[in-house]
Amino acid sequence: MAKYQKIAVAIDFSEQSKKALERGVILAKDYGAALQLIHVVDTVSFETLKHEAKAQGVNIVEVTVEEGSAKAILTQLPD
Alpha helices, H only, 1-79: 15-31, 43-55, 70-76
For the cut 90, the answer to whether the pLDDT of residue 51 exceeds it is yes
Give yes or no for a contact between 32 and 7, defined as CB atoms under 8 angstroms apart.
Answer: no
Task: Return the higher-pLDDT residue of 26 and 68.
Answer: 26
pLDDT at 77: 77
For the cut 70, the answer to whether the pLDDT of residue 42 exceeds it is yes
Prediction pTM value: 0.64
Please give the span between the terminal C-alpha atoms of the chain, in angstroms, as a whole number: 55
Give yes or no for a contact between 37 and 17, defined as CB atoms under 8 angstroms apart.
Answer: no
